[in-house]
Amino acid sequence: MKKFSLLFVLVFATLFFITGSALAKSKVVIYTSLENEEVVEYLKQAKEELPDLEIQAIRLSTGELGARMLAEKENPQADCIWGWAVTNMEEFIPKGMIKAYKPTGWDKIPTNFKDPNGFWTAIDLYAAAFIINEKVIENKKLPIPKGWNDLLNPVYKDQLIMPNPASSGTGFLQVASLLEMMDPDYKTKPVEDNKAWDFLKKLDANMGQYIKSGSKPAKLTAAGEYAVGCSFAFVYSSLKRKGFPVKMVLPEEGAGFELEANALLEGARNEDSAKKFLDWALSKSAMTGYAKFKLGVSYPGIAGPKDMPVLESIKLAPMDFPWQSKNRAKILETWSNLFLK
């Protein structure tokens, strides 16, 4: 009887251990610069479709994410990046901090949305836009701007808000697009000699505030604190659905844009889990989720939100991502010297 009892205990313990191991989730730590509202929705979907993963996503602004990676270079705390500006990502490849990985479905993504060696793969595109508070515009009898040049009108003094490019990817793409659009010789001259800085100095005279977040200019404008928020397109859709008196204007000169990409980190502690997540993050299912917010996703044939313009109808600025990445530090240094005194 004692032998039988002991055997039963051992069998039960073994079954419990096997069952417990089967139910245990593998962990993955993710850094992301996707907007909070997006991350909440995407993670609901990810956790349903990846039930065996314990997903820990840490949301950081574009600049903060890069700073944390540098601080953790010798002891990485994250396994992968999910939705980070390509111009930022590019800087970390030569530093040896990104590991090449081509997720499942990589071959379906167009070449202009991925690094040829697999260091990063973009999931979406977001574009600069002006968010207009129609009530403020009406009450202050202000014209509705059609583009960047209209914002130089003195009537907008202290009525504009824009992201700080040093901390916001949206702010950086806005400044970078102006440097390229306003100076055809941008490639052949020092960054600090670019003609667009004269334009930005004039714009600064009307600027009410530079702020860390790319979405905050739109949100503060929607709340009635400013007339025009220089932000990005998809945040408009969310604000409009919530009933704010907002209108979106895509700059007639051309809307600057950025790609948001994923990557595997060198030294990832949970590399297998990270690869599993990155496979999901590039799937058609995940892309369909992104498209509820984004102007355009990298998976072919998936349309964006119904209340947003069709991507093909938008005049996009001719963004030179390699030049932007190479000159990023100088662009930010010049901007900071001029406007953060």
One domain for residues 175 and 106: no
Evaluate whether residue 18 is within a structural domain: no
One domain for residues 120 and 131: no
One domain for residues 218 and 331: yes
Evaluate whether residue 2 is within a structural domain: no
* pLDDT score for 20: 44
One domain for residues 190 and 274: no
Residue in 145, 169, 126 with CA at minimum distance from that of residue 311: 126
DSSP states of 22-34 as a string? HHPPEEEEEEE-S
One domain for residues 150 and 252: yes
* pLDDT score for 22: 41
Residue in 69, 98, 74, 54 with CA at minimum distance from that of residue 261: 98
Evaluate whether residue 187 is within a structural domain: yes
What backbone torsions phi and psi does residue 144 show, to the nearest 5 degrees? Answer: -85, 120
Q: Residue 150 maps to which CATH number?
A: 3.40.190.10
* pLDDT score for 237: 84
- Helices 36-49 and 271-281 pack at an angle, to 10 degrees, of 110
* pLDDT score for 23: 52
Evaluate whether residue 94 is within a structural domain: yes
One domain for residues 84 and 140: no
Evaluate whether residue 102 is within a structural domain: yes
One domain for residues 303 and 199: no
Domains of the chain: total: 2
Beta strand ranges found along the chain (DSSP E): 26-32, 53-59, 80-85, 98-99, 121-133, 160-163, 207-211, 228-232, 246-249, 257-265, 296-297
**pLDDT tens per residue across all 341 residues of the chain:** 444 444 344 344 444 444 444 456 899 999 999 989 899 999 999 999 999 999 999 999 888 999 999 999 999 999 999 999 998 999 999 999 999 999 999 999 999 899 999 999 999 998 999 999 999 999 999 999 999 999 999 999 999 999 999 888 889 999 999 999 999 999 999 999 999 999 999 999 999 999 988 899 999 999 999 999 999 888 898 899 899 999 999 999 999 999 999 999 999 999 999 999 999 999 999 999 999 888 889 999 898 888 788 888 889 998 998 899 899 999 999 999 999 86
Evaluate whether residue 329 is within a structural domain: yes
Strand partners, 59: 32
Predicted structure pTM score = 0.76
* pLDDT score for 295: 84
One domain for residues 329 and 191: yes
Show the domain range for 303: 23-125+258-307
Residue 234 near residue 243 (C-beta atoms within 8 A): no
3 state DSSP class of 124: strand
Evaluate whether residue 92 is within a structural domain: yes
Evaluate whether residue 215 is within a structural domain: yes
One domain for residues 87 and 29: yes
One domain for residues 162 and 242: yes
